[in-house]
A and B are shown apart, each in its own frame.
Chain A
């Protein structure tokens, strides 16, 4: 397996960067959109709440593969032709935002009601109380599920291969097709996904303990 690894190394190097770019890029963009969606879900405006609910319902309720294929192969029928990488990043972002919004909503909801009351009694408005008091605590509570979502997202990037993006899984298929050594290649990229996610898990743990320090 060693010589197969060395042979695939140039391809794997680019592929792992693509996997990280798609996974972390979609995580970052999806977090921003997800937070906005969570705030919309908690809004006092019915229209915003309904919109956010519908969004989550669609993007969490349909398979990511279907979303990717529709964005990439469906949109050209309406005159929008996205390149493979932007299409994959967009699909992963939209998908991630749906899940992340629920993680954020749970975190915000878990902050004690007394914190709101205390902030309001100090004369803070809704946005000031939200941004200075509630969100810092709510986001800390949300770190474990958000971290899980990030790890899931790294693995979900493998679906980008269906729209010709060359990431880890696609490299395994490419080299597998030439050498017929598919199992070894899938074992190899499986190991790489695991190492990447292990590093991300450690980062999450560090972040979690640092953010919790003052509450202990």
Chain B
């Protein structure tokens, strides 16, 4: 057999590699009819980002995003919701490969991310704050964070926000909030950027001497993420979320899962103003 020229073989190898790795979802089938036929909506979340998604004492998925997903499915006329636990770095490929229909896990929509997935109507918002040790006196707000060691969680929107805006701070990113707060408590980092309720929760559950300082840094939206080119599914989900925003369901769920005095619609409005 005649041997191919080397460049040709290389090109062939590259092409195969690219096809396997980068375009796994060239097949764009419409998901909505299948969801309706199976009567199942498949929703991915981490199940480890309280109060948005976590496991309750019976090890069942619970939290604000989980309840929103259940309500969205109900309004779409789909009886069953299957929650699939996955990590932040897998969500996008999971969507592209069709492992689940939608990701609802406190994902912040940005222009750049929208090149990879489609975001639906935002259903939530959270404010990011600065947490420090209770005995810290030198950090009173965002202006004091320069040259300080600041912790964030890997792959979260607080990390993206901090990398963009806190360029003079030394940022350290942790795999989860537990490790992040234990390092704040033992002094390896000076401050943590995290959502108000996430921070309070870690501080009280772990009985750590921490306090929140300064004004909210930013309000960030959370929206469902879908694979590209699913207009029917996007429309169905957006319609359900639109109704839930209009009739106050989001406020009711936020008061139950986030905080009894949380004004979710107000927070969403603030976040829309802060949008990049």
- Interchain nearest-CB distance for A212 vs B (Å): 31
Question: A173 an interface residue at 8 Å Cβ cutoff?
Answer: yes
**A interface, how many residues as a size bin?**
20 to 34
Is there contact, CB below 8 Å, between B188 and A174?
no
Write the B115-131 contact mask toward A (1 if CB under 8 angstroms, else 0).
11100000000000000
Write the B145-164 contact mask toward A (1 if CB under 8 angstroms, else 0).
00000010011100110010
Is there contact, CB below 8 Å, between B89 and A176?
yes
Is there contact, CB below 8 Å, between B175 and A177?
no
Cα–Cα, bound, A84→B175 (Å):
14
Is there contact, CB below 8 Å, between A182 and B159?
no
Question: A131 an interface residue at 8 Å Cβ cutoff?
Answer: no
Is there contact, CB below 8 Å, between A176 and B113?
no
Question: A105 an interface residue at 8 Å Cβ cutoff?
Answer: no
Cα–Cα, bound, A174→B250 (Å):
31
- Give the contacting residue for B21; candidates A76, A170, A180, A183; CB below 8 A: A183
Write the A143-181 contact mask toward B (1 if CB under 8 angstroms, else 0).
000000000000000000010100000100110111111
- Interchain nearest-CB distance for B93 vs A (Å): 6
Binds A, one of B26-34, B51-59, B179-187, B255-263: B179-187
- Give the contacting residue for A183; candidates B22, B112, B186; CB below 8 A: B22
Residue of A whose beta carbon sits closest to that of B107: A180
Is there contact, CB below 8 Å, between A164 and B174?
yes
Is there contact, CB below 8 Å, between A177 and B160?
yes
- Give the contacting residue for B188; candidates A83, A178, A179; CB below 8 A: A83
Question: A184 an interface residue at 8 Å Cβ cutoff?
Answer: yes
Is there contact, CB below 8 Å, between A173 and B182?
no
Supposing A174-B159, A178-B112 touch, asked if A184 and B22 sit within 8 A by C-beta, the answer is yes
- Most-contacted residue by chain B among A81, A170, A178, A180 (CB, 10 A): A180
Question: B88 an interface residue at 8 Å Cβ cutoff?
Answer: yes
Question: B172 an interface residue at 8 Å Cβ cutoff?
Answer: yes
Is there contact, CB below 8 Å, between A81 and B187?
yes
Cα–Cα, bound, A173→B156 (Å):
10
Contacts of B115 in A (CB 8 A): 179-180
Question: B218 an interface residue at 8 Å Cβ cutoff?
Answer: no
Contacts of A81 in B (CB 8 A): 186-188
Contacts of B179 in A (CB 8 A): 73
Is there contact, CB below 8 Å, between A183 and B93?
yes
Is there contact, CB below 8 Å, between B89 and A182?
yes
- Give the contacting residue for B88; candidates A170, A177, A181, A184; CB below 8 A: A177
Is there contact, CB below 8 Å, between B116 and A177?
no
Contacts of A173 in B (CB 8 A): 89, 154-155, 173
Question: A195 an interface residue at 8 Å Cβ cutoff?
Answer: no
Question: B92 an interface residue at 8 Å Cβ cutoff?
Answer: yes
Residue of A whose beta carbon sits closest to that of B157: A177
Contacts of B175 in A (CB 8 A): 162
- Interchain nearest-CB distance for A185 vs B (Å): 9
- Interchain nearest-CB distance for A131 vs B (Å): 43
Is there contact, CB below 8 Å, between B163 and A174?
yes
- Interchain nearest-CB distance for A151 vs B (Å): 22
Question: A58 an interface residue at 8 Å Cβ cutoff?
Answer: no
Contacts of A54 in B (CB 8 A): none
Contacts of B93 in A (CB 8 A): 182-183
Contacts of A170 in B (CB 8 A): 154, 173
Instruction: List residues of A (59-110) whose CB comes within 8 Å of B's CBs.
Output: 73, 76, 81, 83-84
Residue of B whose beta carbon sits closest to that of A187: B21
25 CB < 8 A contacts A-B: A73-B179, A73-B182, A81-B186, A81-B187, A83-B188, A164-B151, A164-B173, A164-B174, A173-B89, A173-B154, A173-B173, A176-B155, A177-B88, A177-B155, A177-B159, A178-B110, A178-B113, A178-B160, A179-B112, A179-B115, A180-B112, A180-B113, A182-B92, A183-B21, A183-B93
Going nearest first, the 5 A-B pairs with the smallest beta carbon separation are A177-B155, A164-B172, A180-B116, A76-B186, A180-B113
Chain A residues with a Cβ under 8 A of chain B: 73, 76, 81, 83-84, 162, 164, 170, 173-174, 176-184, 187
